[in-house]
């Protein structure tokens, strides 16, 4: 059925008025133009990147035949072209998103190309991390002058790569403080997108890329007490879960809510990982100096994240009904107490297994109540994962294990069958 084709028939049958028909036509016309504009932006950015890479390859093919002076001029050529295009865009095409994003992307890569070429011409030595840091600081103004979300996404991606290069992939490792400074510098642009372009695809990409970058980068703060990193990570995922359940994200699809998905999956991963007793035994077998632990980067970051998460949780609870209780949202509050108990006893293993079971059951209940297959199956998956984990670290007989697997499989089938049947009956 094509609604636009059926409009004359609907007018003739007095289902809609002429005025309503015009509004419908205008709506679909604007919707079509928006989709077309998105396609233009995507191909413009890709085109700008390919053109920039093509110029670099053409120059590289004849590089050895050029004099040093000509090489220097050519090294600045991508940067010069990018600046001219951005200047033209600001004065003549300031309202054209395709122009702004494509020229910003070209200039972003032009800056990196110019720095690397000058370094090669004059044999300027240095670490790759230093080159990336210089590139990032020089490209920061592009984001705010051009109001470019593509440049912002490239900046976040390159910042994350910089941290990996500086802190993860080489020894000795550098400090990660520059990364956190780079992240802070991008937040004003992110806030602008959040306030003024909430429904933009660029904003959605930021909702995914920023939390992913933070999850990847948080491990860089680990020093001499890396076993305590579960504390800041558990709190971080709790914060993401609270943000993902905020009023702003309630109206968005799950696929557009990176905070909620990463918060849910991250919390589940931590709980499943700590449902085994091996970690807790290693933790109890080590001796710790209280003052050293409390002043370590792991504990300081955990404390800061806990304060931020607690404030966010308190503000979130002021805007929701008290009956909307979600156990996953308070895991970050329970976890420090479980962790503290785990330093002295074996009880945390039991507590975490019970917590996983409770979260799984509550998700199944919520999924059934809200008629949401995703939430229902997520709860079933948590319980199934718990059963599989206990399959490998308990002394139960194979018969009992087999019965448990069969029971979980039947539970999956029945839960989905009953919900689909309920949907079918409600649709009649």
Question: What pLDDT, on the 0 to 100 scale, is given for residue 162?
Answer: 92
CB hemisphere CA count around 60 (13 angstroms): 12
Predicted confidence band of residue 30 (pLDDT cuts 50, 70, 90): low
Secondary structure tally for the chain: helices H, strands E: 18, 0
CB hemisphere CA count around 386 (13 angstroms): 24
Q: What token pair was written down for 138?
A: 């020089």
Could you write out the DSSP letters of every residue in 294-357? HTSHHHHHHHHHHHHHHHHHHHHHTTS-TT---GGGGHHHHHHHHHHHHTT-SHHHHHHHHHHH
Least confident window among 18-32, 57-71, 306-320, 364-378: 18-32
pLDDT tens track for 192-239: 998 888 888 889 999 999 999 999 999 888 877 788 889 999 999 999
C-alpha dist (Å) from residue 357 to 155, 223, 379: 41, 33, 9
pLDDT tens track for 289-321: 777 778 888 888 999 999 999 998 888 777 665
Q: What token pair was written down for 52?
A: 């920039």
pLDDT tens track for 154-197: 999 999 999 998 888 775 566 678 899 999 999 999 999 988 88
Predicted confidence band of residue 1 (pLDDT cuts 50, 70, 90): very low
Mark out the alpha helices in 253-296 (DSSP H runs). Answer: 258-273, 277-285, 290-294
Query: Quick count: other Cβ atoms within 10 Å of Cβ 78?
Result: 24
**How high is the mean pLDDT of the chain?**
80
45, 150 contact by CB (below 8 A) = yes
189: left (phi over 0), alpha (psi -120 to 50) or beta: alpha
Task: From 98, 113, 120, select the one nearest 44 (Cα to Cα).
Answer: 98
258, 211 contact by CB (below 8 A) = yes
- Widest CA span of the chain, in angstroms? 84
């Amino acid at each position: 059925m094509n609604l636009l084709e059926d409009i004359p028939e609907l007018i003739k049958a007095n289902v809609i008025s002429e005025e309503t028909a015009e509004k419908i036509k205008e709506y679909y016309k604007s919707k079509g133009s928006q989709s077309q504009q998105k396609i233009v932006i995507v191909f413009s950015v890709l085109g700008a990147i390919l053109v920039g890479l093509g110029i670099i390859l053409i120059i590289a093919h004849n590089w050895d035949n050029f004099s040093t002076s000509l090489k220097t001029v050519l090294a600045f050529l991508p940067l010069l072209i990018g600046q001219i295009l951005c200047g033209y865009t600001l004065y003549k095409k300031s309202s054209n998103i395709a122009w702004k994003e494509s020229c910003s992307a070209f200039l972003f890569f032009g800056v990196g190309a110019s720095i690397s070429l000058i370094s090669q011409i004059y044999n300027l030595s240095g670490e790759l991390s230093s080159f990336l840091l210089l590139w990032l600081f020089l490209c920061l103004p592009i984001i705010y002058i051009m109001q470019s979300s593509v440049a912002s996404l490239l900046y976040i991606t390159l910042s994350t790569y910089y941290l990996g290069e500086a802190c993860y992939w080489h020894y000795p490792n550098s400090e990660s403080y520059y990364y956190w400074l780079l992240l802070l510098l991008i937040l004003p642009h992110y806030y602008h997108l959040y306030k003024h372009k909430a429904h933009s695809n660029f904003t959605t990409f930021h909702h995914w890329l920023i939390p992913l970058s933070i999850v990847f980068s948080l491990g860089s703060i680990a020093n001499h007490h890396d076993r305590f990193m579960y504390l800041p990570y558990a709190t971080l995922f709790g914060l993401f879960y609270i943000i993902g359940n905020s009023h702003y994200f309630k109206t968005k699809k799950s696929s557009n809510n990176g905070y909620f998905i990463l918060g849910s999956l991250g919390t589940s991963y931590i709980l499943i990982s700590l449902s085994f007793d091996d970690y807790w035994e290693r933790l109890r077998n080590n001796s710790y100096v209280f003052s050293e632990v409390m002043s370590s980067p792991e504990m300081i970051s955990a404390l800061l994240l806990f304060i931020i998460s607690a404030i966010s949780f308190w503000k979130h609870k002021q805007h929701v009904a008290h009956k909307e209780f979600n156990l996953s949202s308070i895991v970050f509050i329970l976890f420090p107490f479980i962790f503290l108990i785990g330093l002295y006893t074996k009880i945390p293993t039991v507590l975490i297994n019970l917590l996983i079971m409770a979260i799984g059951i509550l998700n199944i209940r919520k999924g059934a109540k809200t008629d949401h297959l995703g939430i229902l199956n997520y709860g079933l998956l948590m319980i199934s994962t718990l059963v599989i984990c206990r399959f490998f670290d308990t002394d139960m007989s194979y018969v009992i294990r087999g019965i448990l697997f069969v029971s979980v499989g039947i539970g999956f089938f029945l839960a989905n069958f009953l919900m689909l049947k309920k949907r079918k009956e409600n649709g009649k």
